[in-house]
Amino acid sequence: WTEGTAVDAQRSLAELAALAETAGSEVLEAFVQRRDKPDAATYVGSGKANEIRDIVAATGADTVICDGELTPGQLNQLEKVLKVKVVDRTALILDIFAQHATSREGKAQVELAQMQYMLPRLRGWGESLSRQAGGRVAGGGGIGTRGPGETKIETDRRRIRSRVSKLRREIAGMATARTTQRNSRDRNATPSVAIAGYTNAGKSSLLNQLTDAGVLVQDALFATLDPTVRRAETVDGREYTLTDTVGFVRHLPHQLVDAFRSTLEEVAASDLLLHIVDGSDPDPLGQINAVHVVLNDIDASSVPELIVVNKVDAMSEEDVLLLRQALPGAVWISARTGEGIEALRDVIAARLPHPAVHVEVLVP
């Protein structure tokens, strides 16, 4: 079950499958259930749940992933019927973030988000994990068991709450350090550009084009998690900082938006936002909206935004024409072939604030 039309559901499900593969799973079967609203007890309804149970048995699947956020009760109930681990979209996304976080701050933020997700679901997690320990699911592990879920089975809410407070304090400390760094950049009047965009839009590739930074480019959702700050130069020789941000995705769990708030403040504090859009995606405008929802949420909507449509090399002329009408002020590039990059550099130079002219008077 998902919101919207059948096409939306298929698209969302395809993205879910890609996310699951990014998390290291092999997707065996995908199906859509049409309902007016999710079933209060089992999310998919009891008939469908039985059907899925049979598919699980026939394919030997060890996990069922639902496209949406299930209530703790629905998770529990569905696991009882299916007899395998059930994971929802939120847990899957949290899991991917947990696997990819590299910085100390990123790790702490993801753990905090996982804790918050876990707290109301403690019972469900405990049950599914102990069932695993009983040997029903070969190999154990997998989505939803990495991170705090695995080691905290016996942990009571109080211990989790105290861990949450500790993480919050640590993160607040790290955010202060970052603000200090940012302030020192401000004092030096180095203009800053932030790159934001839907996951896989080509943010890392563009960062490389603009800075020769040698950032990892991956054809996987969420390659970019921790913000990278690089130095770059405008065509007229001024230095600016270029910050790559976390990948955005539809239905980014609210726990993560909260967790990444301080990281995303980099975006709110920048002089220019390059919003990268994958022009070859079936729904570029939908991606733009998903990013705008998050940007509004972190009060970054007042930062001047430049829409950069990427992957023109992979678009048909007809699609380019259509999208040009919808996005009149956009810059068109291919981070792969380099097409349009020079024009983009010119626009960046023109849009960045010029530093106040410094006149030094030398008194003899």
Could you give the maximum distance between any two Cα atoms of the chain, in Å? 91
* DSSP string across 233-281: E-TTS-EEEEEE-PPB-TT--HHHHHHTHHHHHHHHT-SEEEEEEETTS
Contact with ligand GDP (CB under 6 A) among 100, 178, 251, 311: 311
* DSSP string across 73-127: HHHHHHHHHH-SEEEEHHHHHHHHHHHH--SHHHHHHHHHHHHHHHGGGHHHHHH
> Considering the complex, what minimum distance in angstroms separates the CB of residue 335 from ligand GDP?
4
Q: Give the number of other Cβ atoms within 10 Å of residue 237's Cβ.
A: 7
By CB under 6 A, what part of segment 202-231 binds ligand GDP? 202-205, 217-219, 223-224
Contact with ligand GDP (CB under 6 A) among 196, 246, 335, 348: 335
Contact with ligand GDP (CB under 6 A) among 76, 90, 245, 334: 334
Near ligand GDP by CB under 6 A, which window of 26-34, 105-113, 200-208, 298-306? Answer: 200-208
> Considering the complex, what minimum distance in angstroms separates the CB of residue 133 from ligand GDP?
36
Judged on CB neighbours under 10 Å (0-12, 13-18, 19+), 105 is: buried
Contact by Cβ (8 Å): 227, 267: no
Told to check if 27 binds ligand GDP by CB under 6 A, we report no
When computed from its CA atoms, the radius of gyration of the chain, rounded to whole angstroms, is 23
What is the rounded distance in angstroms from the CA atom of residue 20 to the CA atom of residue 294? 22
> Considering the complex, what minimum distance in angstroms separates the CB of residue 337 from ligand GDP?
7
For ligand GDP, the closer of residues 204 and 262 by Cβ is: 204
Told to check if 197 binds ligand GDP by CB under 6 A, we report yes
Near ligand GDP by CB under 6 A, which window of 104-112, 179-187, 227-235, 311-319? Answer: 311-319
Near ligand GDP by CB under 6 A, which window of 63-71, 112-120, 198-206, 286-294? Answer: 198-206
Taking the alpha carbons at both ends of the chain, their separation in whole angstroms is 79
For ligand GDP, the closer of residues 38 and 202 by Cβ is: 202
Q: Which residues bind to ligand GDP, rule: CB under 6 A?
A: 197, 199-205, 217-219, 223-224, 247, 310-311, 313-314, 334-336
